[in-house]
Every structure is written in C-alpha cells, then in structure tokens.
Amino acid sequence: MGDAHVEGAQARQTPFTARFQDFISRYAWGEIWTDPTLSRRERSMITLTALVAHGHHDELALHVRAARRNGLTPREIGAVLLQIAVYCGVPAANSAFAVAQRVLGEEPEESEESEESEESDGETDG
C-alpha cells in the first residue's frame, strides 16, 4: 500500500489501536509484503481475491489502488475479478466490479491510453 499509507495509519493510531497497528506494521506490511518469494503484483492479485471472498469492500478499494501501483492494469484487475466470479460467486464479483470501476474511474484518462499501448506492445503473432 506504500510507505505513505503505512505512515498515515501509524499517525492515526490511538492508544486503543496501537497494538493492532504495530501488529499490522510488523507482520503484514513488514514481513509478508516484503517477502521476495512472490512479486507485489502477485500479492495484489491474492489480496484482491481474499478481500472479495470475505466481502471486505472498503479494504478492496484501497487494494485496487495498491494493485495499480504494483503494476496491474485495469484489464488485469478485471480478469482477476472475473476469475473470482467462478470461485467466490457472481454476487461477490458483481460488488467487486462496482468497487473497482469506481476506483479506476478516479484515475486520470491517460491511464487507459497507456494501458492500450502496453497491450499492443506485448502482442505477438501466434
């Protein structure tokens, strides 16, 4: 989610949430997201899936943004959500598509153009 998000979350902690924030900072952001075994792109895909499966749509919006920063294109995010529909159900994916569409709609227009050029650059004749 980025250093700025982590720092912001730590700044907003209260005495009540301090232990939980420390746990998240050390374990989730410190150990799991920095483990080199999986790429940040792969971790984003896994995280999107887990959040949809459990109906955590507020967190899903944050992680759609993080997935974009981790290199997933809107098309790839859509493909992940389509895959999720098979395993988590159409209603779960329907809600997830609505969240992702809202988040992706917040991006500047040039992101769509750059995605199209990335896709055409990567195409090969079969």
What average pLDDT score do residues 107-120 get? Answer: 57
pLDDT in the model for residue 6: 62
The two three-digit tokens of residue 100, written as one number: 């992702």
pLDDT in the model for residue 27: 87
Q: Write the pLDDT tens digit of every residue in 32-90.
A: 999 999 999 999 999 999 999 999 999 999 999 999 999 999 999 999 999 999 999 99
Identity at 97, one-letter amino acid code: F
- Percentage above 70 pLDDT, the chain: 79
Entry pTM:
0.77
Higher-confidence residue: 121 or 58?
Answer: 58
pLDDT band at 113 (very low <50, low <70, confident <90, very high): very low
pLDDT in the model for residue 26: 87
Q: 39-106: what CATH class? A: mainly alpha
Stretch among 19-28, 41-50, 90-99 having the lowest mean pLDDT:
19-28
b/e code 22-38 from CB counts within 10 Å (16+ = b) = eebeeeebeeebeeeee
Decide: helix, strand or coil at residue 33: coil
pLDDT in the model for residue 19: 92
Q: What angle do helix axes 74-88 and 90-105 make, rounded to 10 degrees?
A: 160
Stretch among 2-11, 49-58, 85-94, 107-116 having the lowest mean pLDDT:
107-116
Which part of the chain is CATH 1.20.1290.10? 39-106
